[in-house]
Amino acid sequence: MASSNPRGESASGPDAAERAPVGEPSFNTVLGLTAGAAGEVVLDTRPEHQVAPGTIHFAILATVGEVAAAGAVGAPVVPAAISLNLLSRAQPGRLVGRGRLLRRGRTLAVAEGDVLQDGRLVAKVSVTFALLPSG
C-alpha cells in the first residue's frame, strides 16, 4: 500500500516527487483522497470503489485508514505490517480517516487509523511503519 499524504506527495518526502515520472499522478490522487480538516483524510467514493453494489471494497477502507495513520506519524514512512478490522459495511458516500500515533521509536512507529462514514466507525487499521531516512 502506498503511504503518502492526501495531497499525493510520496511517503519518502518531497524529494521523491522529483524522482517520479513527470505527469504521473500518485496512487492516492488517482484513488481520490483529499486532505480534510485537522489532518483528516477524505474520500468521496466512486462506483469503481465498490466490490458489490452498495458495498465499498475493503482495500479502499484499508488505504484510507493507512494513509490517515501515516499522517499521524509526522515523518516519511512505509508500512511494515498492517491489521484491518472491518466493523460495519461501508456504503458509497464520504469516508473520513483519522489517524493517531501510538508510539514512535528510532526506526519504527505504530499508529492507528479510524475510518468513519456519517460519524459511524466502519473500519479500524493498525499499522507498524518503518521510518524512512530524511534527506
Q: Is the pLDDT score of 75 beyond 60?
A: yes
DSSP string over 91-129: -SSEEEEEEEEEEE-SSEEEEEEEEEETTEEEEEEEEEE
Read off the pTM: 0.82
Is beta strand 120-131 parallel, antiparallel or unpaired with respect to 77-86?
antiparallel
Question: Which domains are delineated in the chain?
Answer: 14-131 (3.10.129.10)
Confidence band (pLDDT; 50, 70, 90) for 25? confident
Contact 6, 71 (CB under 8 A): yes
Which pLDDT belongs to residue 22? 60
Q: Is the pLDDT score of 108 beyond 70?
A: yes
Which pLDDT belongs to residue 52? 97
Q: Is the pLDDT score of 16 beyond 60?
A: no
